[in-house]
Amino acid sequence: MKLQHCAHCTRHVILILSICSVILATDVPKKNVLFIAVDDLRPELGAYGSDFIKSPNIDALASKSLLFERAYCQVAVCSPSRASLLTGRRPDTNHVWKIAGDEYWRTVPDATNATTIPQYFKENGYISIGMGKLFHPGPPSGNDDEEYSWSPEGLPYFHATEEDSIANHSSWYKFDKPDNYLVDGKIADNSVSVLQQLKQNRSSGDLRPFFVGVGFHKPHLPFYCPSKYYDLYPPVEDIKLPENPNPPEGMPDIAFSVSEEIKNQRDVKILMNVTKCTTDVNATKYGEECRVPVTKTKELRRAYYSCVSFTDAQIGKVIKELESQGFADDTIIVLWADHGWQLGEHNEWAKKTNFEDATRVPFILHVPGVTDNGMKTDALVELIDIFPSLTELAGIDVPPMCTENSPKSIACVEDSSVAPLLKNPTMEWKKASFLQYARPLDGLPQIPGYPPFEPNEHGENVMGYTIHVDEYRFTEWYKFDRDTSKPDFNYTWGTELYDHSTPSTFFNDENINLTKKAEMKQTVEELRNILQAGWRKALPPNNE
């Protein structure tokens, strides 16, 4: 009788424990998110193998994170890249392709009104707080999407202003001032204050998890930062020049950008015939008129590196405060850049191309208790993967995959979570990553056998679509209809194929366009089929 009673009790205990387990499983505290954006940061960092760049804080974060060695943006310019990442929808869905006041995804013609990452976390019980450059500021984002994305009862969205005394300098400038003399130093200070306030809120009973977005401006032009960061690097005369200063052999003209962003800087402009190089479509845009002189190239490269180190120091302040306030063990940290940056490779500067240097980005994901020992993967990933990844890892419902005809206002995403790579970084993954860049039709030759295509009021009617696969980067430039957001594959202004099969040192590849090589004909056709089939056909296994 006693034994039967004990067995009966045991069954009850097991039942009670099972019920408790279910309750606990559905009431697991959600993880906080620290969302760090960096403008114009290429993955030339210690964590990515550079022994030259001084980036100790990013490197320390990477040492306890999953580092994505082949991550790509959707568009190599900030506004559409950020719009795509933050809404989880691709540029042709958002109708955001460039920096323009009339390309806010909630108000463009055929607008998506898509839910953003901070908005989705807010709607799932988080306090959502933002600062700095996360969305592109101003009209392109409806002024930081403040009405939707950020908690009204939270701290107000924070933008710092530049000191008047450093305005109107040339492309680079160093000075003996503290870090918080600059916008990014002020943003770092503000993030410290926000984390301290969140800790106080916890002590007062506000147990909501937080989503804190911190957007840094540097190393965006102009390259201003305190002298101590310049002092980390050799003198100008010892700075290395690009190993591949010339455009790729066989490159179609449409692939090239004349890089007005750097060439219109005051100190650069006086050294070059910028007007000539930006108006003569064929003869001079690759020539000496459009080449930044050697000494200035070295100055600019050193200045860019210095600003990378300055930004790295600000990131260190934020992470140190996160740890100091006791949030480290339950906070996911994601660090990303909106696109890469060209530093004279291929005679290119800044972004606005589909070259590897403009499109490959740092993407680092720390999940406490999962990535603490550091991990790397060479799986192809995209910035648009961040939305579904963060929601899954934080413990909230992952938005569904958008269908071809998803309602415009629902929360859905156009790619998949990278969470499986945390378990197996070498698993089979995407067949290809996808990105694009628009070019104006003006100055391009009419395609024989086809009627002319009338430009619309935006003046951009050619879209360069790119895929990366395991061994190649493939791009074609098609006629594009902005009203329908569709390419016409019959009109082609150029094709590019570059060999990525042999890992190289930083930023010295893509020097020969292989499309005219007879032995590459079948490869071109295979890659064209993947590109034209679209991203849905290239999703990871079990996500198609």
Q: Which residues are catalytic?
A: 78, 136
Q: Which two tokens stand for residue 231?
A: 């002092």
Query: By C-alpha distance, which of 184, 182, 138, 151 is closest to 164?
Result: 182
User: Which string of DSSP letters, residue by residue, matches 306-326?
Assistant: HHHHHHHHHHHHHHHHHHHTT
Burial of 488 (0-12, 13-18, 19+ CB in 10 A): middle
Query: By C-alpha distance, which of 411, 537, 418, 544 is closest to 88?
Result: 411
Cβ neighbours around 95 below 10 Å, total: 20
Per DSSP, the chain holds a count of helices (H) and strands (E) of 16, 16
Q: Name every residue whose Cβ is closer than 8 Å to that of residue 474 and which is 6 or more positions away in sequence.
A: 466, 467, 495, 496, 497, 524, 527, 528, 530, 531
Q: How far is Cα 498 from Cα 475, in angstroms, rounded to an integer?
A: 9
Distance, CA of 80 to chain centre: 10
Cβ neighbours around 273 below 10 Å, total: 16
Cβ neighbours around 504 below 10 Å, total: 14
Q: Taking a C-beta distance cutoff of 8 angstroms, is the pair 55, 314 a contact?
A: no
Q: Name every residue whose Cβ is closer than 8 Å to that of residue 543 and which is 6 or more positions away in sequence.
A: 401, 416
By three-state DSSP, how is residue 493 classified? strand
Q: How far is Cα 187 from Cα 19, in angstroms, rounded to an integer?
A: 46
Per-residue CA distances from 56 to 143, 189, 227 (Å): 33, 19, 18
Q: How far is Cα 43 from Cα 340, in angstroms, rounded to an integer?
A: 7
Q: What is the 3-state secondary structure (H, E, C) of 196-225?
A: HHHHHHHHCCCCCCEEEEEEECCCCCCEEE
Query: By C-alpha distance, which of 75, 58, 100 is closest to 216?
Result: 58
Q: Taking a C-beta distance cutoff of 8 angstroms, is the pair 472, 481 a contact?
A: no
Q: How far is Cα 170 from Cα 156, in angstroms, rounded to an integer?
A: 33
Query: By C-alpha distance, which of 103, 112, 180, 183 is closest to 135?
Result: 103
User: Which residue matches tokens 């106080």?
Assistant: 200
Q: Taking a C-beta distance cutoff of 8 angstroms, is the pair 124, 209 a contact?
A: no
DSSP single-letter state for residue 281:
T
Residue 276: what residue type?
Answer: K
Query: By C-alpha distance, which of 120, 125, 132 is closest to 39?
Result: 132
